[in-house]
Amino acid sequence: MVLPLFAPGSDPGPDFAALIRASGVSGGAPIERPLAPPGSAAGGASVGPGPLPLRHGTTVAALRYDAGVIMAGDRRATEGHFIAHRAMEKVFPADRHSAVAIAGAAGPAVQMVKLFQTQLEHYEKVEGVALSLEGKANQLGQMVREHLPMAFQGLAVVPLFAGFDLRREEGRIFTYDVTGGHYEETDHAATGSGGRDARTTIKLGWRPGLRREQAIELVVQALYNAADEDAATGGPDVLRGIYPVVATVTVEGYEPVAQDEVAQRFGVLVERGLAGGSAS
């Protein structure tokens, strides 16, 4: 390896994706040419499993509570009708004050998260100051947009982004579509194959100023209801001790909620009769 020095005109600045393109490390850009199956005329939009679906098996949700935002994801990964992984993690820290959750094709999604994490840290180190939350959300949108050719192949990646805005001093949530468009949600959001069911539960149970335990209960209940309806979403697995990944982002930063605590909250929900009522 040599020291990556650039002439002033070709300097990638604080952009890590541009840097790895310039350095020839793979993983920065998506595969440009669609992978057409042998014999087909051209790599069209119809190749791949179905039309632009988000159905690679996942439900991730985020909601605001009194101290910031909470984010959660189920643990199941599917390959067609098979369960590929029972304990997959879909919620990641993006940097100290934000979190990203993924829905869609697992491989590209995890790679995108890795690139996103590196990008945020890289910017912060090169520039000496972290990006604003808005800036981070926009960055992620650009990565999703660059991934669009793969989305046409059925390998869509749709993230959910949430963080604590240190300037506004509040938690904020952003949702995305496959074209990289990002939209700020006021209070809660859910995406993935079971996103609709999760959203309904959250919508019914959410109110301003939820406390931490209430927020955890609500989000766990939302994932439970999603798993109840959607085959590609995994519910809590009491036998194996696998529960949803839950994390909070507050002024103190990203903090995962311990599996024991999630299990305990789930226990409380079961006692209360899980299916009905709100999480209050």
Which residues does the annotation mark as catalytic? 58
Using CB under 8 A as the binding rule, whether residue 1 contacts other proteins is answered as: yes
* Whether 119 contacts 127, CB under 8 Å: no
Cβ density class 96-105: b for 16+ within 10 Å, e for less: bbbbbbbbbb
Instruction: Name the minimum Å distance from CB 206 to other proteins.
Output: 29
CB of 97 to other proteins, least distance (A): 9
Q: Which residues of 1-15 are buried (b: 16+ CB within 10 A; e: fewer)?
A: eeeeeeeeeeebebb
Footprint (CB under 8 A) of other proteins, residues 217-276: none
Residue 181 buriedness (CB in 10 A; 0-12 / 13-18 / 19+): exposed
Nearest CA to 66 out of 171, 167, 160 is that of 171
Show the binding pattern over residues 64-103: x = contacts other proteins (CB under 8 A), - = does not: ----------------------------------------
Residues 10-29 that bind other proteins (CB under 8 A): 16, 19-20, 23, 25, 27
Q: Which of 168, 93, 108 lies closest to 143, judged by CA? A: 108
CB of 249 to other proteins, least distance (A): 14
Least Cβ distance, residue 98 to other proteins (angstroms): 14
Least Cβ distance, residue 19 to other proteins (angstroms): 6
Please work out the total of residues on this chain that contact other proteins, with binding judged by CB under 8 A.
23
The answer to whether residue 216 forms part of the interface with other proteins (CB under 8 A) is: no
Nearer to other proteins, 127 or 237 (CB): 127
Q: Among residues 1 and 42, whose Cβ is nearest to other proteins?
A: 1
Using alpha carbons, select from 188, 205, 274 the residue that is nearest to residue 235. 274
- Whose tokens are 């990944």? That residue is 245
Contact status: 44 vs other proteins (CB under 8 A): no
Q: For other proteins, which stretch binds (CB under 8 A), given 2-10, 142-150, 151-159, 232-240?
A: 2-10
Backbone angles phi, psi at 73, to 5 degrees: -145, 150
Cα-only R_g, the chain: 19
Q: Which C-beta is closer to other proteins: that of 93 or that of 159? A: 93
Task: Write the Ramachandran bin of 100: left for phi over 0, alpha for psi from -120 to 50, otherwise beta.
Answer: beta
Report residue 232 CA to chain centroid gap. 16
Q: Which of residues 158-187 bind other proteins (CB under 8 A)?
A: 166
Residue with smaller CB distance to other proteins, 14 or 34:
14
Task: Name residues contacting other proteins, limited to 107-126 (CB under 8 A).
Answer: 114-115, 118, 121-122, 125-126
**Torsion from C-alpha of 146, 92, 95, 4, nearest 10 degrees:** -50
Residues near other proteins (CB under 8 A): 1-5, 16, 19-20, 23, 25, 27, 114-115, 118, 121-122, 125-130, 166
